[in-house]
Structure 1
Amino acid sequence: MNSSEERHTNRPKRHRCQQCDKAFATPKSLEIHQRVHTGEKPYSCQQCGKSFSQSAHLRGHQRIHTGEKPYWCDQCGNSFSDSNVYRRHQRIHTGEKPYHCDQCGKSFRHSHAYTQHLRIHTGERPYHCDQCGMSFNYSHAYRRHQRIHTGEKPYHCDQCGKSFRNSHAYREHQRIHTGEKPYWCDQCGMTFATPKSLEVHQRVHTGEKPYSCQQCDKAFTTRQSLEVHQRVHTGEKPYSCQQCGKSFSQSDHLTRHRRIHTGEKPYSCQQCDKAFATRKSLEIHQRVHTGEKPYSCQQCGKSFTQSAHLTGHQRIHTGEKPYSCQQCGKSFSQSSHLTGHQRIHTGERPYCCDQCGKSFSDSKAYRQHQRIHTGEKPYHCDQCGMSFNYSHAYREHQRIHTGEKPYWCDRCKTNFSRASSLKRHRLHTGRRPFSCTFCGKNFPDSKGLSRHGRVHRNGRIHICSQCGKGFVYRFSLTKHLQMVHGRVKPFVCQICSKGFFTKKDVEAHIWVHTGEKPFHCNLCEKRFKRRVELNVHLRWHNGEKRHWCPYCGKGFLDFNNLKRHKYIHTGEKPHSCPHCSKNFTQSGHLKKHVKNVHKDD
């Protein structure tokens, strides 16, 4: 502090403002202050017309036009156009902080920083917005806020044309084009474009979370994160989309949402030309090319490309499910899962296909659906060249090459490469929990019930032109024509050359040669070549008779047994001898007849 400042500081403040009661040491200082209330700015720049309340401010401003910087720092060579700025700068080298807070002991280099700090303790917010009623601690924050209402963005980027409300955001934006990241972390070497970003990043190493929520005690590394979090409790969503009316709790969420309407994807990958709506999405995508997975689980060592994926993964170990549905009470480990679940109750399907009009409740399902129209198959197998629409289909295919079978049955220890195969395998329990509401028929899985439902909804609409038999599915009619009328057996055993109608039949036949019986009963250890034979056998243990004779009421475990039994009532003998016109009810009886009677034919 120089001698002039000391003289003014030590003099009594006898001149008081009648409007705000603030006191000053000299009448001149009071006169200058009153211009804050009157708005008077008597000093104008001849070059640009800007006005000022003090002549010193005008002189400092004119140096912007002349480029004059008469004040030089001897220690670092920096030059300044204003003497006050020069004196404040020197305190960086001397370490002087002459302004001390009596309440918390904190010290400051500049009086205005000290004055602003005092408002933390007093709660004073002297700058009020007439349009929305918000109050601010600092005049520059108030001026920036005013630009929200006026729409003014005075700072323009020459390279991309983007405009900004404040100079700070403009300077930080410039670093996107220059790639400059002048601030680096001493612990991990990461670099940042802004000092604030570095400060926040360093809390990753220290674990510091100085901002706590008063309602749930959750802590955050930044004040902005706390303010955004508090909207979870208040339900406030102050940012609304003008096109669809959807509201958001964060402005950047609204910015990203608007790109859904505009289709804008301003961030492009230099390696594959793929474009993204957000810079963060681009950064995450680039890890596909680099293989970087910077987030590791301390418990199992698994690594992830995104911190959110690590957070979600850690809940597997902790069992935490912090997101609960208010309507049914179901809990979820991830907020996105809750959002998708809530659409079950609301019926909302916000993702619509422009080509076919189909709607989806989930963005992932929508993107996958679009591949039907585009024909895109982005997942390629390096070993055999096959391509896939979906990542899960690609992963399952990879197990063909690796032989991996990660799903196993708890009861019989059989391994499977797919979860769906394990689910079907569990049918050896005999459970058939899915029932048809029309006819009462039971099914072991929802897929079987869905297929059966077409019988009632559509009927057997595919009719055989040769025998008049009806089928629910076209492929069933095609199979019928091949097997019954065409007698085509396209699947041949490589060992004995015997022909079969289906691939499954020839696979089961091969076990005749190998002696293998892979399906075994857990109740009596009896083994079978086919799963259907095991299912019929399990009904024998359970005493279940699903097929009943309409003539005499007798029950049967298997449909074929019922079919043969009905021949007793109808007198039908569908199996004819090609040699002597004799007929039989069973194909086995016909074969025995041909072997014994016509063995020489």
Structure 2
Amino acid sequence: MRKNVIQVVIKSTVMPFRWLRSSYRCFYCYDVFREPKDLKHHQNVHSVEEEIPKAMENYWEPEVYVDISNISCRLCTETITELYQLVDHLILKHEIKFNKDIGMGMNAFKLEEFSVNCLICDHRFSTFGHLLIHTNKDHKGLSEVLCDICGQHFRSAKYLRQHIRNEHTKKPVVCSLCGLTVISKNKLRTHMQNFHNHRYKCYACSDHFATHYKRSQHMMLAHKSREVIKCSYCPRSFVYRSSMMRHVRETHLQERTAICTVCGWRSFAQYDLQKHMMKHSNERNFKCSDCEKAFKTKKTMRQHYNNIHQKPKLHDGVVNEIMLSK
């Protein structure tokens, strides 16, 4: 499967990407983006031919998400509109080695500026998460079953239900090492990684790290694995370019183009404005798991939990949070 994907990505304009927790992620460096257009623009910083083989070495999902909104062949000017058409074209005209017996290895989507399209029925959706829900509900048997929470692939609805029960259902679980109670097996796994297991091993030495980001930071600073991304205004450095740009806009340029129409509050990011607007809404979507009291924001719910209910055993920053279904 890996060889199939590498061949197609190198010889065409299809764009591989990742989806995790309501955000697009760069396939090569894990930078996070809220909008498809920002992800597409970011791709220019990467050398696809050099980086796709290494990226695929550490990819273990059965298929790769690819955007085909600007699909074309890099080797000629023939008009291409679909992924299967592209593969047939590359095999017949350019004689690439592609093993069809093991499947495509790619799941195609069209990420437009204001919507994402279902390629089976051409329905449009405002977010990629909504498209995944639609795919599971309306096109079972025609495509992979996808988890709309984390984007993971499953061969059937049975395995998807098992995954949701184990990973995303909020059922209290106790850590056997420290006694901490968390709301799901997925949260327990995160806790184990952060506090009891450093599973991200450095590629160059014997050091281990709790997160992928911390390992990347170590590789960059200790082993010079990639260029340090420095702020041009101050001495700070960053692992990801998107983090540096956010820092520059917020700290140095102080861009405040997102404006609250209610109170005039300003922000440099539309996402921050959306969170701010919760203060002006009567909706209380964040519920305390201990006393049933509901709050407008996750931050205020956490403050309440820490002040009223937090046990001595709990680590800082770990709270039980339950989203109310709308």
TM-score clears 0.5: no
The answer to which structure, 1 or 2, has the higher relative contact order (CA under 8 A, 6+ apart) is 2
What TM-score, normalized to structure 1? 0.24
Question: TM-score when scaled to structure 2?
Answer: 0.40
Larger radius of gyration: 1
Higher helix share: 1
